[in-house]
Amino acid sequence: MIIEFIVLIILVVFFVLIAMPLFSSVPLFLINATIIILVAIRANTDIKQFDMLLHYLVAAFITVFIFAAQGAFKSLFGFMESILVLELTQALIYIFFIAHIIRLAHEGIKKLIAIQKTALKQK
């Protein structure tokens, strides 16, 4: 019981540290809160209706590697910071887009396999 409480405190502290820049100014808060809300609503719909949970998990891992290699993506990160988009919001945007790219690739591969199977059956 005590370990769960300690983990909860650590999680709350890390969340506060991550979310603190969000409340530093009104325009920053409005821009980032709007983006976060829109992405969260759409991601929730994707997960429930299109069963994209696995796509979002893979996208989250890819996003971690993107943030680890920030040097390669410096112009993109610089642009996002210049329009007042925080790293937390950037991560959510990247996860959203990468999940949809993965789903598009997955659906395309499934269709190509189905076309190939029908072509083999006709021979």
Q: Residue 59: name the closest of 99, 31, 27 by CA.
A: 99
Model pTM?
A: 0.85
Sequence ranges of the domains in the chain? 25-122
pLDDT digits (tens, 9 = 90+) for 35-84: 999 999 999 999 999 999 999 999 999 999 988 887 777 888 888 888 99
Check residue 32 and give left, alpha or beta (phi > 0: left; psi -120 to 50: alpha).
alpha
For residue 77, the model assigns a pLDDT of: 82
